[in-house]
Amino acid sequence: MDELIGEFLAETAESLDTIDVELVKFESDPTDRATLDNIFRLLHTIKGTCGFLGLSRLEAVAHAGETLLGKFRDGTLVADSAAVTLVLQSLDRIKLVLAGLEETGNEPAGDDSALIAELEALAMGEAAAPAPAPEPEPEPEPLIAEADGPYDADLGRPLRPGEVSLADLEAAFLATEGPELAGTVLEEETETETGIEADDEPAFGAPAVPARSASGPSAPAGAADGDAARSDGVRAQSTIRVNVDVLETLMTTVSELVLARNQLHQIVRENEDSALKGPLQRLSSVTAELQDGVMKTRMQPVGDAWRKLPRIVRDTQQDLGKKIRLIMDGEDTELDRQVLELIKDPLTHMVRNSADHGIEIPAARLAAGKPETGTIRLSAYHEGGAIIIKITDDGAGLDPDKLRAKALEKGLATADELATMSEQQIQRFIFAAGFSTAAKVTNLSGRGVGMDVVRTNIEQIGGSIDLASEKGKGTSFAIKIPLTLAIVSALIVKAGDARFALPQLAVRELVRAGEGSAHSIESLNGARMIRLRNRLLPVVSLNTVLGLPETSSDASHGYVVVIEAAGRKLGVVVDDVLDTEEIVVKPLSAQLRGIQVYSGATLLGDGSVIIILDPNGLSQQLAHSSEETQAADEMAVSAVDPSRQRLLLVRAGEDDVKAVPVSLITRLEEFDGSSIEVVDARHVVQYRGRLLPLAHASGVDVFKRDGRQAVLVFSEEDRSAGVAVDEILDVVEETLDLQMGSERPGVIGSAIIKGRATEVLDIAWHMERAWSGSPQRPARAGRHPILLVEPDAFARRMMAPLLAAAGYDVTVVSGLREARDAAQMGAQYAALVGDPAALDTLASEGHWADVPRLGVSERAHGMHSEGMLAVMRPADRGGLIAALDRAARTGETRAA
Amino acid sequence: MALDYQTSREFVTVRIAGQLCGALVSEIREVFAPQAITAVPLARPEIAGLLNLRGRIVTVVDARIRLGLPPRDPEAPCMSLGLERGAELFGVLVDEVGEVLRLGQDTFEPVPAHLDPRWRSLLSGVHRLETELLAILDMDRLIAADMAMAA
């Protein structure tokens, strides 16, 4: 195609996009003179170029539109919605003709007379008076009752009515205050923060699209504007158009350079005293700079993907009779061109969805107490090595009931499964294929093929999408995508003899699992997991996923790489972890692309080919979501012999071994003896920014001066205390059967542990000591008596020892009859614990009416009744004790 | 008898499990000895793996397995035909590479109808040579991604 036409097409397409945005802006504030002038100037330029290139059809349409705009400028016509719609229509017609031009190299044949007539009619204030298309002949228009325009040297003909000479226009433009670049200050700040020059203005100098809401306040005229206009001119000259293919080639070449540099590194690394070291260093830094530079050329502001959105929202408003405000924040945030291309459609789809299904009609909004105009907010910002884009609306939000019904209907889940799902999980159903709860599928957002395609598109580029929604309040989507696809940081891991790469972006932490470490790989019916900070994390063995033979690592130890993908965390068991490298991502051939767990391949510095793993693919290998696994885990934990507890064996004071239930301990720490200080006669140590009071488990507060002092940290709500021991011996699992009670403070009783009589420490007492600081303080008068009402045998067996070990005097009854008997005998308790229904029944019968009740049940939600402090889950042992302590304290003031 | 330049074509001959096969020279970019093939777990059996050829990643297909022939002895030498399809590079593993022959239409026969379906789909014809038959491989089909195995 003619090069001139090619350039014309590119430039005009950009101009038209800008005019679209500007028009929408102008429509919401018709007094915005600056914007109008801008639109006029752009359209005029287009018209002029069309005339120059002999594109008569385009010229005619552009001229008619320009005439109408001229009327807005003079003030002879008010720019109402109808008028603006008409101008937009003329723009659409121009785009249509341009498309035809692009295809064939010539203007397609077509009749625009109707459109032109409408434009002129409106301009002349007449009602649909037909006017012939203006002809480029040097004769005055007979229909228009205006004087012939003067002859214009630039155009080589007299000016048409309504036409302004180029020279006049230039003069007018230079004299007019330009549009204020919204948040000019904001722009500069962003620039200095990111250190990237936003140098990508189109060559003909259209000012940057301001980060303004479509209905926001118009740019106030001011001295700043003049500067802005001038700086625009300067900016325009410092940009250049480069063919995208050239950039691609450049990028590939630089990638090869990075690889070659890595190879050299490898060689030099092995050769200790190589003379190459110095030059290689220089080469390295130069390559890094080059890499950065080329990456920058690929960066485009995300606003480019948002350009079409104001128009789309405006059209939706018109079509559906809604009032919507679009706010765009952070459009200067830059990301890789390739990534931008891939998210354009998903973003458009989501905004359409918000406008179409999210925002309610004005009447409904008012009825709900919301402002008539709905808001859709787009924001973008950098975080880590990724860009976060959020789309938030204050519309109707997602209706969980509708979603549940739809899920049932589509057979995506059974009623039982739905009942156990959290609202978050239910909301994620919208990402399922074919899901759409829109009662009326408008042609704007189409059928529910949308969101699952959106998610797939985003995940394919290594990103993730999440949502939060509240019925009646609104919905918010958050998309996280890597800044660039081409060169990524990756962790190299080993499975068997083979090496694989894991994108650093997805890696959360690295854990050593196995004997001798804090975590071990545990297994339940084939499902593997590790304990990580009081939670269970599902793990999967890389060898297993790849179908490779299992190694010893898989069984019980190895490295576990904790990754996060698609909102889920999981651990990947590998045989070894090597280092982190910067790798160039090369796509796999079609034959291998279908393998879910691979996302590409790369060449390492030593020339070997290794495969890049896809975190999303790995995460999908897991059968359950983490929430389901958690529920399963909790059941699993209680399904394990309930009366067995994990006990920490320690030495404290005398030679005998003492035991502490592990579930009560928050953390095991070791402090340097020298860091233990004495404040106000109390021993404390600085811990996580606070002072941790200490007591010694032996009862005698003597701590190590030097060397490491082992301390068991207990946390309860907002308080923590440390109980020091001489030595931590072992962790065992035993049935805690308290044989003998003890009157000695600090000890609950004895139990047989590992065949020996072992004292079980009264942690509560020690903690009290630590907090109060006075070792002479007697134990609380007796221990709190509590009643455990639990019909379920194994729950009884599990809870009773736990409560006893926490320092309570537990009376256990298995049913209401025994409880009533106890009541009749006048027993008093500080608190009642157990089956919520039973406790409520007792209360309603008047037994222990004032005594605080603490329910324990698998289904912990929505079961509060008056007087019941809380309903805890049996697996939440720590929480149970804490709640009980609180309850007992309040009970203390009431019970006898 | 001189071959008509217009209607004759050049083939590079290879041996795969004893069978002489040929590929159009115009489709072959190069011939190389494969080094250090990285296996790709979970891939189809005919994908031998990936290798690095002058800085580019090549997907290696094992012709023996593709044709349903017994796998070669790991110690046995092999060569690879290099092809380029769009932006992707492929290597096809064969036992040996022979000479280049120029053959005319007169020795060409269409694929025999009684051949098993797999071979039938992977060959584009047969040339009758003096002492044996030369099976002409359809390279595109050989490396194709969606290989529907005929029942």
**Cα distance from B117 to chain A (closest Cα, Å)?**
21
* Residue range B38-66, pLDDT digits in tens: 999 999 999 999 998 877 889 999 999 99
Is B52 in contact with A607 (Cβ distance < 8 A)? yes
**Cα distance from A602 to chain B (closest Cα, Å)?**
8
Of A260, A589, A595, nearest to B42 by CB-CB distance is A595
B145 CB near a chain A CB, below 8 Å?
Answer: yes
Which SS3 state, helix, strand or coil, does residue A704 take? coil
User: Which residues have a Cβ under 8 Å from the Cβ of A780 and sit 6 or more positions away?
Assistant: A765, A768
If one counts every other C-beta atom within 10 angstroms of the C-beta of residue A742, the result is 14
DSSP bridge pairs for A690? A687
What dihedral do alpha carbons A395, A401, A402, A406 form, nearest 10°? 140
Mutate to test the interface with B, among A255, A256, A494, A589 (most CBs of B within 10 A): A589
Mean confidence (pLDDT) of chain A? 75
DSSP bridge pairs for A853? A832, A868
Of A593, A603, A611, nearest to B52 by CB-CB distance is A603
pLDDT at A200: 38
Residues of A near B (CB-CB distance < 8 A)? 256, 259-260, 498, 546-548, 586, 588-593, 595, 597-598, 601, 603, 607-611
Token pair for A28: 């919401």
In terms of average pLDDT, the best of A231-235, A438-442, A750-754, A794-798 is: A750-754
Of A547, A590, A601, nearest to B145 by CB-CB distance is A590
Q: Considering only CB atoms, which chain B residues are within 8 Å of A591?
A: 43-44, 47, 59, 61, 143, 145
Q: Is A229 exposed, middle or buried (0-12, 13-18, 19+ CB in 10 A)?
A: buried
Is B88 in contact with A590 (Cβ distance < 8 A)? yes
Is B38 in contact with A610 (Cβ distance < 8 A)? yes
Angstrom distances, CA of residue A216 to CA of A372, A410, A470, B7: 16, 43, 27, 74
Angstrom distances, CA of residue A638 to CA of A421, A621, A635, A788, A876: 20, 26, 5, 18, 11
* Residue range A16-59, pLDDT digits in tens: 888 888 888 888 887 888 888 888 888 888 888 888 888 888 88
By CA distance, what is B50's nearest residue in A?
Answer: A609
Q: What is the mean pLDDT of residues A65-73?
A: 84
Q: Considering only CB atoms, which chain A residues are within 8 Å of B143?
A: 591
Buried b (16+ CB within 10 A) or exposed e, B43-68: bbebbbbbbbbeeebbbbbbbbbbbe
pLDDT at B11: 94
Is A595 in contact with B43 (Cβ distance < 8 A)? yes
The answer to whether A880 and A786 are in contact (CB under 8 A) is no
Is A589 in contact with B88 (Cβ distance < 8 A)? yes
pLDDT over threshold 50, residue A780: no
Nearest CA among A642, A662, A664 for reference residue A797? A642
**Cα distance from A502 to chain B (closest Cα, Å)?**
15
pLDDT over threshold 70, residue A264: yes
State the pLDDT confidence band at A442, using cuts at 50, 70 and 90.
Answer: very low
Token pair for A877: 């042992």
Is A548 in contact with B55 (Cβ distance < 8 A)? no
By CA distance, what is A605's nearest residue in B?
Answer: B55
Q: What is the mean pLDDT of residues A577-584?
A: 84
Q: What is the pTM of this model?
A: 0.45
The separation between CA A88 and the C-alpha centre of its own chain, rounded to angstroms, equals 36
Helices and strands, counts by H and E, chain B: 3, 11
Q: Considering only CB atoms, which chain B residues are within 8 Å of A601?
A: 50, 57
Of B42, B50, B90, nearest to A601 by CB-CB distance is B50
pLDDT at A288: 82
State the pLDDT confidence band at A231, using cuts at 50, 70 and 90.
Answer: very low
- Residue entry with tokens 């609104």: A474
Nearest CA among B36, B48, B146 for reference residue B94? B48
Q: Which helix (H) or strand (E) holds A508?
A: strand A507-513
B66 CB near a chain A CB, below 8 Å?
Answer: no
Q: What is the mean pLDDT of residues A836-853?
A: 83
Of B38, B42, B57, nearest to A586 by CB-CB distance is B57
Ramachandran class of B125: left when φ > 0, alpha when ψ lies in -120 to 50, beta otherwise: left
Residue ranges of B 16-55 with Cβ closer than 8 A to chain A: 36, 38-44, 47, 49-52, 55
- Percent of chain A at pLDDT exceeding 70: 75
C-alpha torsion sign, points A763, A717, A522, A516: negative
Q: What is the mean pLDDT of residues A505-521?
A: 76
Q: Considering only CB atoms, which chain B residues are within 8 Å of A611?
A: 38, 40, 50
- Residue entry with tokens 């009623």: A415
The answer to whether A63 and A47 are in contact (CB under 8 A) is yes
C-alpha span between A556 and A539 (Å, rounded): 12
State the pLDDT confidence band at A550, using cuts at 50, 70 and 90.
Answer: confident
Q: What is the mean pLDDT of residues A764-779?
A: 60
Q: Considering only CB atoms, which chain B residues are within 8 Å of A600?
A: none
Vertex A400, ends A394 and A403: CA angle to 5°?
Answer: 110
If one counts every other C-beta atom within 10 angstroms of the C-beta of residue A763, the result is 23
C-alpha span between A654 and A658 (Å, rounded): 9
Which SS3 state, helix, strand or coil, does residue A793 take? helix
Token pair for A17: 């996009």
Is B55 in contact with A547 (Cβ distance < 8 A)? no
Nearest CA among A569, A849, A534, A840 for reference residue A663? A534
What residue type is A138 in one-letter code?
P
* Residue range A815-835, pLDDT digits in tens: 888 888 888 877 888 888 888
By CA distance, what is B35's nearest residue in A?
Answer: A608
C-alpha span between A305 and A482 (Å, rounded): 16
Angstrom distances, CA of residue A201 to CA of A37, A197, A204, A232, A241: 19, 11, 8, 9, 10
Pairs of CB atoms within 8 A across A/B: 58
Q: Is A771 exposed, middle or buried (0-12, 13-18, 19+ CB in 10 A)?
A: middle
Helices and strands, counts by H and E, chain A: 28, 37
**Cα distance from B83 to chain A (closest Cα, Å)?**
13
Is A609 in contact with B50 (Cβ distance < 8 A)? yes
Helix axes A81-104, A3-28, angle to 10 degrees: 170
B88 CB near a chain A CB, below 8 Å?
Answer: yes
Q: Which long-range contacts (CB under 8 A, 24 or more apart) does A869-876 make?
A: A871/A836, A873/A634, A874/A638, A874/A795, A874/A798, A874/A799, A875/A634, A875/A637, A875/A638
Q: What is the mean pLDDT of residues A186-204?
A: 36
Q: What is the mean pLDDT of residues A658-668?
A: 81
pLDDT at A567: 65
Of B36, B39, B59, nearest to A498 by CB-CB distance is B39
Nearest CA among A618, A335, A411, A606 for reference residue A495? A618
Task: Say which range, A570-574, A645-649, B58-62, B113-117, has the weakest mean pLDDT.
Answer: A645-649
